Structures are given as C-alpha cells and as structure tokens.
C-alpha cells in the first residue's frame, strides 16, 4: 500500500462548520414553524 500524506486534524473545515451550522438553524426553524402551523390549525379546528 502507498503511504498516505494525510495527517489527522490538519484540514481547514471552517466552511463545512459554517454550512453545518446553517443547516441546523434551517432545520430548527423549519420544525418550529411547522409546529406553530399545526398548533394554529388545531386551535381553529381545521
């Protein structure tokens, strides 16, 4: 097998971290808005 030049922990992952943070925020807001819509629909007996 060939020797790998990869050294664990040296890659810059700041862009991946920002993307993941945005995904989590989007997911949380989607769940919150969905729950609010469901509560509203339950309250108005739709």
pTM value? 0.69
Give the dihedral of Cα atoms 20, 22, 25, 29; nearest 10 deg.
-130
pLDDT, tens digit only, all 46 positions of the chain: 566 787 888 888 999 999 999 999 999 999 999 999 999 999 998 6
The per-residue b/e assignment along 7-22, b for 16 or more CB within 10 angstroms, e otherwise, is eeeeeeeeeeeeeeee
């Amino acid at each position: 097998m060939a020797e790998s030049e990869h050294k664990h922990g040296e890659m810059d992952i700041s862009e991946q971290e920002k993307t993941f943070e945005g995904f989590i925020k989007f997911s949380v807001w989607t769940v919150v808005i969905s729950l609010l819509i469901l509560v509203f629909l339950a309250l108005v007996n739709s």
